[in-house]
Structure 1
Amino acid sequence: MHRRTVLGALGAAVLGMTARASDDDALTAAWRGWTARFLQPDGRVVDPEQAGISHSEGQGYALLLAQAVGDRDAFERIEGWTRAHLLIRDDALMAWRWTPGGGVVGEDWHNATDGDLFRVWALVRAARDSGWPVAEGTVEAIAADLSGSCLWPDPRAETELLLRPSAESLASDARVLLNPSYIMPRALREIGAATGDTRLVRAADHGETCLSELASDGLLPDWIDVTATGYAPPTGHDLRSAYDALRIPLYLAWSDRAGHPAVRLAAEILTSGDEVAVARTGAGIVTARSDLPGYRALARLAACAPVDPPEPASLAGPYYPAVLHMLVALAAREGAPCAGSK
């Protein structure tokens, strides 16, 4: 019996390794299709639906995906283009948008915190997990500027830290603008661990608390203000739950928080028949639905259902659902398993 038990365990382990290898191969194949569509030879990630612009979010996502599938050549091209075109600020953060024929114009030099967060997380993983060289001091410099410029005390409790959407976004002792979809706990914790910056870890912890509070009110907003007396409609934005907020369950599930209240709420509100409710008003009225594969994969992840990497046909559509599908597949591979998942 003991021998059979051991053999059974070995067999299960082999099957698990085989399944993981198959998932890895599928994700790598999907990456090849995604790069053929959205990555230029020089390392610029193109968003075709926005007149071919490039944004720091796209560069950060692609850098992370290249590391995850072991594509060092693409990783170096993406990082090279980013350094040459988006590092124009006086700090180590990126300008958020680059326009063909114009470069960084107007206030596009402002950073978008999620782009910087994914870029530095990719660099941490490249050095730690892939053994790829990263320019000395780069990780520390980006982390220091994220910590110093993009964290702000919560007006309700000054010892707690909120992740600001930009170093230039609204923040005062009384009111802080928050984009809940920028809160990526796993990235914040791993960057904090790599650099010893405990402020980033605290921001991850408090971010999860904020997301729980919002979910308890039935909200997964794109934008919200945090005030001394609680949450309030966002300054300069509509109160809605739309394309930004779709990333909230993705980042939580990726951070081993599949049971988080915000993920459970997303699982309830995203599915609308064969389509996904991709946009709602602040009152919860659905204003847009989609059957695109990337959005459907996200809904499956929130519901703890199996998720496969995108098929070539699904990468022919818009940039955003295509990159979401890639990130969802990676999150399903890397996040803690839950009932019904692979």
Structure 2
Amino acid sequence: MRRRTVISGLAALAVARPALAQADAWTAWRDRFVAPDGRVIDDVNDGISHSEGQAYGLILAEAFGDRETFDRIEGWTRGHIANRQDALMSWKWDPSRADSIPDWHNATDGDLLRAWALLRAARNRGWPVDSAVPAAVTRDIVALCLAPDPRRADAPLLMPGAEAVRQADRVLVNPSYYHPRAMRELAAAFDAPQLARAADHGEALLAELAATGFLPDWVAVTPDGFEAPRDHDYRSSYDALRIPIYLAWSGLAAHPAVAGMATMMARTDQPDHVAVRVEADGAVTAISNAPGYRFIVDLAKDRFVPFSAGDLASQSYFPATLQMLAHVAHAESHG
């Protein structure tokens, strides 16, 4: 049997938790998107699973105190995608393929949030967690997924993956991968000051982007400022929607990127819809009335709108998941 330990000094702390009013919604989300073996299923993208989704499932299970589901999700994760030579995860698992993992590259946000979920489980719930896992993930994020900003060598950028292409004068960044609270808490727990510096610089980076009036999914950072990425579309869409959630969760509801995303999402005259894809020239090319996406605007404006299991039944994996995460973010930032 694998020896399991509790993260030293953290599990004994009594952490006050805000009340989460949507327990029925958690049950609905779990029953729809978590398979019996613990695989979190993206029902729109051909039923694949990805490291981001597994991490979201862990965070939500911890937030709602569901240890059995937490253990199932982590067990599947360890057995199927935590398979690299380092402590990071392969980002995609495809049930339609014989090899299941067509791309073993990691996605830094999934690794960051999984480590944070494990830290939270030990600290907030006292659940037995193998402390070596989040410690190793944090170590490898610092070692493999940080790069100097070409404009300031002492300011680390969070790269989207360990194998992401980077040059001394050009670093690819996904702004929605920054979760300052998660980064700082992992840095404090595992003596990783570089990750805390990356969180600080990430806040500044997001403020710079907000000042331009455009918060993209992907951007290249160069000595002269921001440029369109070479291998990704230069637009603001489903990745960038997460920016207000992570900032509000980090106690940064007044950050200019929160209001900036809310303004971009409001660029539609269609009632009860929000913009979910905005091009670099400002053109809105996709809108949605999914409650999960509209909930992000409410969060950005510090409005809490109650929802129920019925709201989740009408949504696919991604908007339903963002609504759940935004609910937890709102509760914990006001807790």
| TM-score calculated relative to the size of structure 2 | 0.91
1:105 alignment partner AA: I
1:245 alignment partner AA: A
Query: Is the CA contact (8 Å cut-off) linking 2:39 and 2:73 kept in structure 1?
Result: yes
Deviations 1:236-262 (A, max 9, x none): 011101111000111111111111010
Query: Is the CA contact (8 Å cut-off) linking 2:23 and 2:64 kept in structure 1?
Result: yes
User: How far is the alpha carbon of 1:308 from its aligned partner?
Assistant: 2.6
**1:293-312 residue pairs with structure 2 within 5 A?**
293-312=291-310
| TM-score calculated relative to the size of structure 1 | 0.89
Q: In structure 2, what is the equivalent of residue 319 of structure 1?
A: 317
Query: Is the CA contact (8 Å cut-off) linking 1:310 and 1:325 kept in structure 2?
Result: no
> Residue 123 of structure 1: which of 118, 139, 142 is its match?
118
**1:89-168 residue pairs with structure 2 within 5 A?**
89-102=84-97, 103-106=99-102, 108-168=103-163
Query: Is the CA contact (8 Å cut-off) linking 1:254 and 1:336 kept in structure 2?
Result: no
User: How far is the alpha carbon of 1:310 from its aligned partner?
Assistant: 4.2
1:230 alignment partner AA: G
Q: In structure 2, what is the equivalent of residue 192 of structure 1?
A: 187
**1:28-67 residue pairs with structure 2 within 5 A?**
28-67=23-62
- Name the SS for the 2:113 alignment partner: helix
1:222 alignment partner AA: D
Query: Is the CA contact (8 Å cut-off) linking 1:186 and 1:254 kept in structure 2?
Result: yes
Which structure: greater helix fraction?
A: 1
* Separation in structure 2 between the aligned mates of residue 166 and residue 88 of structure 1, nearest angstrom: 15
Deviations 1:167-210 (A, max 9, x none): 11121111000000001101001111111101111111000000
User: How far is the alpha carbon of 1:40 from its aligned partner?
Assistant: 0.4
Deviations 1:14-39 (A, max 9, x none): xxx9xx64xx2x32221100011100
User: How far is the alpha carbon of 1:316 from its aligned partner?
Assistant: 3.3
Query: Is the CA contact (8 Å cut-off) linking 2:217 and 2:236 kept in structure 1?
Result: yes
User: How far is the alpha carbon of 1:267 from its aligned partner?
Assistant: 2.1
Q: In structure 2, what is the equivalent of residue 10 of structure 1?
A: none
Q: In structure 1, what is the equivalent of residue 284 of structure 2?
A: 286
* Separation in structure 1 between the aligned mates of residue 188 and residue 306 of structure 2, nearest angstrom: 30
Q: In structure 2, what is the equivalent of residue 12 of structure 1?
A: none
User: How far is the alpha carbon of 1:307 from its aligned partner?
Assistant: 3.3
* Separation in structure 1 between the aligned mates of residue 308 and residue 142 of structure 2, nearest angstrom: 35
1:84 alignment partner AA: G
Once the two structures are aligned, what percentage of the paired residues are identical? 51
Q: In structure 2, what is the equivalent of residue 6 of structure 1?
A: none
Query: Is the CA contact (8 Å cut-off) linking 1:280 and 1:286 kept in structure 2?
Result: yes
Query: Is the CA contact (8 Å cut-off) linking 1:37 and 1:316 kept in structure 2?
Result: no
Give ranges in structure 1 of 5+ residues lacking alignment. 1-16, 338-342
**Is 1:217 aligned to 2:206, yes or no?**
no
Report the aligned-residue RMSD. 1.4
Query: Is the CA contact (8 Å cut-off) linking 2:291 and 2:311 kept in structure 1?
Result: no
| More off after superposition, 216-225 vs 311-320 | 311-320
* Separation in structure 2 between the aligned mates of residue 178 and residue 160 of structure 1, nearest angstrom: 14
Q: Look at both structures and tell me which one has the larger radius of gyration over its CA atoms.
A: 1
